[in-house]
Chains A and B, each alone.
Chain A
Amino acid sequence: GAVVSQHPSWVICKSGTSVKIECRSLDFQATTMFWYRQFPKQSLMLMATSNEGSKATYEQGVEKDKFLINHASLTLSTLTVTSAHPEDSSFYICLDRGFGVGYTFGSGTRLTVV
């Protein structure tokens, strides 16, 4: 399957600042990348679908101006959490659709906003 590199693996930031999370597909072209958020002991909630060269599609209830997604190249998708607040503290993870039936997750980013 695909190999997806996600950075950073963890980040602590101050309230009001922005954080950028990168997901890079290392061996396949990631034309479609999904971004999920997971709170402790809860499920993975889809935030948005990122397609190379086009605007991201956001799920209902997800603020597109707060969670900026860019997919400028075939191998790189980024999620920027703008003006972060403590309630944004969560585990953010990307999912590369790839070509097979078993999609590949990035390693995840644990964001803590203080």
Chain B
Amino acid sequence: GQSLEQPSEVTAVEGAIVQINCTYQTSGFYGLSWYQQHDGGAPTFLSYNALDGLEETGRFSSFLSRSDSYGYLLLQELQMKDSASYFCAVREDQGGKLIFGQGTELSVKP
């Protein structure tokens, strides 16, 4: 079967750094993506890793280790507006189908 595991919730304070982990088990793997979703809104794309290593985009970075079937999203200099749900997603096949994790609810406290 296919599964993506991530923590259900994380709490951190403003200005801190937080890491959200994702381990996956899927029938195919063509890359790992991260999406942010605020309450009532649509998910928005944050980052993508097809190869091992770190990708940096501003305050957000994402890491992938294909041999460990593991990745993480790193959020630095946390702001209140970063409070949201974060989903990892595996592109499972060449057709581009995305399978999503259960989501991690991040709460940023003052």
- A contact set with B: CB distance below 8 Å: 1, 32, 34, 36, 41-46, 49, 93, 95, 97, 101-108, 110
Residues in A whose Cβ lies below 8 Å from that of B72: none
CB contact under 8 A between A101 and B87, given known A43-B103, A93-B42, A108-B41: no
Contact with A along B20-41 (1 / 0, CB 8 A): 0000000000010101000011
Contact assessment for B102 and A97 in the assembled complex, using a CB-CB cutoff below 8 Å: no
CB contact under 8 A between A34 and B97, given known A44-B87, A102-B48: yes
Contact assessment for B33 and A102 in the assembled complex, using a CB-CB cutoff below 8 Å: yes
Among the listed A41, A44, A101, which residue makes an inter-chain contact with B43, where contact means beta carbons less than 8 Å apart?
A44
Question: Closest residue to B47 on the A side, CB-wise?
Answer: A102
- The contact size tier of chain B is 20 to 34
Complex CA distance for A107 and B43, rounded to whole angstroms: 8
Residues in A whose Cβ lies below 8 Å from that of B100: 36, 43-46
Q: A32-B95, A105-B44, A107-B41 are in contact. List 7 more A-B contacts (CB 8 A).
A: A32-B96, A43-B102, A45-B100, A101-B31, A102-B45, A107-B42, A110-B40
